[in-house]
Chains A and B, each alone.
Chain A
Amino acid sequence: MALDLSTNKYADVSYEEKERLFAEVKADARWNHVMYGCYECGICVAACPSARFYDFSPRVIAQAAAREDVDLVYTLMNDSVWDCSQCFSCDRCPRQNSPGQIITIMREVAVKNGLKTAKQALEGYGRIIYKIMSTGTQVSPDMLQPNAFPDWGGHVKEISDNLEVWRKALPPETLHTTETGWQITDKTIVELYLIWHMTGVMKLIEGVDEGLFMILVDVMEERLADAGYDDVSFD
């Protein structure tokens, strides 16, 4: 679908609100290391995998950001940034920009501010966030279910059917797990939860998925309390 770069689509959002969000992007400590201006040479586009399949252009994003086009930045923050593959092939810029990093920051601001488009982009992604935040490993063997990966063929069902045995048939002792990628100590998980607590990332999750946030808080607070951290609360 063609990307609507006219500013009509978000005309109902005030310029001040768009400006506020862009100011948040520019206030990020990384901004001055990833945005230096834009020649519009298109080298980033030539290297970009997403540009081949979507109506997506890292050049348009860098250019809009460089000339501080507040309306266009807002449109892109909603309708474009989630197409990026985050491969950083665009780190070829003759002006040393990193369009991929600009997008990382824009995504973070979109999530932090609970933009509807960020919520839509992350629909169906909640189980992954749950897994990484609660267990410390992003994907686990028990995620290999045929209904989750129908386009990977019958081989997924074969793994799923044999999962318990095939995991035990792995020589490294740490890999006999099914719910996590490897065996992780309780102490390690508690330390991870303390990191989430001290860096405020749970607030980001609350902004895009309140239900998931509540489930995670229950899991984390109980485990932290068991470890003696009764005073830690995510509220």
Chain B
Amino acid sequence: MIHLPVVKAVDRKFEANPDEAPTEDIRDAVLQLEKEGEWIVPRVPEPFMEEKTKFGRIKKIPVEKTWHHKSCGQCGHIPGYSTSIFWLNRAFGLDYHDPTDQTSCTAWNYYASATSNPEAQAAVAMRNFAAAYEVGYFPIIHCGTSFGHYKEVRHALVHQPELRRKVKKIMERLGKPMVMPEEIIHYSEWVLAMRKRIAERQLIDMSMITATVHPACHYHKLIEEDAIYDSEIYGAQRSAIITSTLQALGIKVGDYSTWFDCCGFGFRHILVSRDFSRSFSVQRKIEVMIEEVNPDITVTHDTGCVTTLDQSQFAGKAHGRKVGLPVLADSQVAALAMGAHPYKVLQLHWHNTDNTRFLEKIGIDHEKMWAEFQVEAEKIKRGEMPYLTWEDAEKNNLFNKIK
């Protein structure tokens, strides 16, 4: 008789072991190529934070000296998203760089239209990495697609010497070095790693809030092993991204059956075939969240996801669907929790779905705060002030009022 060990489900615990990871640790190959003189590998500046990725490897996340690789969709259409990221850095007094020597990763266009090629995509990435290196800051990527795409580029450059040779030639023409950062970091990983510090500075009680989370496909599906996982969150069977952050702020996170589904963005679809984006977003995400969880907000961490989930609800409402769920980025929720102004910093007027009920529930007088924003906007309109400065934005923060 053969005796086999029996592990009861109740005793089972998922512990990721990096030694048993089914994929290579690409960072070893990146460092090896540095030794061979192929490129410069800027190290994550100290002091850094550490989080675990899918197979239990440690990912270093910088606290500061960060070079903010902005997102075209965030900056163009939901600018309070990036503004909140910068506000958080300022609130902690951290050194960061908001570059003008930065292009988009151009991957949105690539995935939408295929009017590009791997050499061009890799060269754009390497040009941006070199620009960060030249000013002595470490790249942190705002867009989920840029993050996923740059990981793909890193993989291709490591495994295709011919591609590396071609890109090197381009970089020589541009007068720039070949640079591959030690880690590729998404901003939401920084927010997650900073969650305890954010919670220590929290001014707005959010314990009465229930949220759903939508993780971006290009964050946790493209090169899946580089996403943050935590055995305390979903038993490490899903990425902990966003969920860890919200729970640290006291927000209840509700589970729903289409968590893994994409938002419906589709790259070309959101621009020229929006019937698909609208339908998928409303029927597979928003309605399911409302029916199964009935949350106060849904929180995501990518350009396309905020845009699609938020903007698609207008058409859903016209068709009598179950919609009306405010959509925010994790950076906006974190900044709001620390007392950032909902209009001067979070810039919630750029969002489509009504979010005032959520603001009321956490005790924010949105009418008064909108009036405060309008006063500043009128001054700009009349030419009495050229711009809203950080100082202007910070003077009416909830933080100051509570103090």
- A residues engaging B (CB < 8 A)? 29-30, 33, 47, 49-50, 52-54, 82, 85-89, 91, 104, 107-108, 110-111, 118, 121-125, 128-129, 132-133, 136-141, 143-144, 149, 151-153, 155, 158-159, 162, 165-176, 181-185, 187-189, 191-192, 194-196, 198-201, 204-205, 208
Contact = CB atoms under 8 A, between A and B. Distances in A.
Contacts of A54: 276
A53 B280 contact: yes
Nearest to B103: A136
B18 to A, nearest CB: 20
A181 B75 contact: yes
A30 B159 CA distance: 10
Given A29-B118, A54-B276, A85-B276, 18 more contacts: A52-B280, A82-B268, A86-B266, A118-B114, A125-B271, A138-B104, A152-B314, A153-B314, A169-B376, A170-B83, A181-B72, A182-B100, A184-B103, A191-B174, A192-B103, A192-B127, A201-B117, A204-B116
A29 B103 contact: no
Interface stretch (B187-195, B325-333, B344-352): B344-352
Contacts of B265: 85, 87
Given A91-B222, A139-B72, A199-B117, A50 B266 contact: yes
Contacts of A110: 114
Given A89-B221, A172-B86, A176-B387, A185 B260 contact: no
B79 interface: yes
A182 B75 contact: yes
A121 B124 contact: no
Nearest to A106: B114
Contact of B102 (A140, A165, A175, A184): A184
Given A169-B380, A198-B173, A49 B280 contact: yes
B123 interface: yes
Enumerate the 9 nearest inter-chain pairs by beta-carbon distance, A residue then B residue, closest first: A136-B103, A107-B114, A153-B314, A181-B75, A199-B120, A87-B262, A87-B217, A86-B111, A85-B266
B222 A204 contact: no
A162 B120 CA distance: 36
B123 to A, nearest CB: 5
B262 A182 contact: no
Nearest to A136: B103
A139 B77 contact: yes
B315 A151 contact: yes
A165 B106 contact: no
Interface in B246-267: 260-262, 264-267
Contacts of A107: 113-114
A127 to B, nearest CB: 9
A183 B100 contact: yes
B262 A89 contact: yes
A222 to B, nearest CB: 19
Contacts, number: 252
Interface in B66-95: 70-77, 79, 82-83, 86-87
Contact of A171 (B72, B86, B279): B86
Contacts of B269: 85
A144 B344 contact: no
Nearest to B221: A88
Nearest to A142: B76
A165 B350 CA distance: 13
Contact of B377 (A169, A176, A196, A198): A169
Given A49-B262, A172-B98, A204-B116, A194 B389 contact: no
A201 B265 CA distance: 25
B392 interface: yes
Contacts of A136: 103-104, 106
A149 to B, nearest CB: 7
B106 A29 contact: no
Contacts of B278: 151
Nearest to A202: B115
Given A49-B262, A205-B115, A151 B274 contact: yes
B233 interface: no
B129 interface: no
Contacts of A124: 271-272
21 contacts: A29-B156, A30-B156, A52-B280, A86-B267, A87-B262, A89-B217, A111-B115, A133-B109, A137-B75, A139-B73, A139-B108, A144-B76, A151-B274, A151-B278, A171-B87, A171-B345, A175-B79, A189-B103, A195-B174, A200-B117, A204-B116
A193 to B, nearest CB: 11
Contact of B169 (A198, A205, A208): A198
B6 to A, nearest CB: 27
Nearest to A128: B271
Contacts of A171: 83, 86-87, 344-345, 388-390, 392-393
B84 to A, nearest CB: 10
Interface in B344-371: 344-345, 347, 349-350, 352
Interface string B260-297: 11101111110110101011100010000000000000
B377 A165 contact: yes
B173 to A, nearest CB: 6
A169 B80 CA distance: 11
Nearest to B160: A29
Contacts of B127: 191-192, 195
B182 interface: no
A173 B344 CA distance: 14
Interface in B94-153: 98-104, 106, 108-120, 123-124, 127, 131, 148
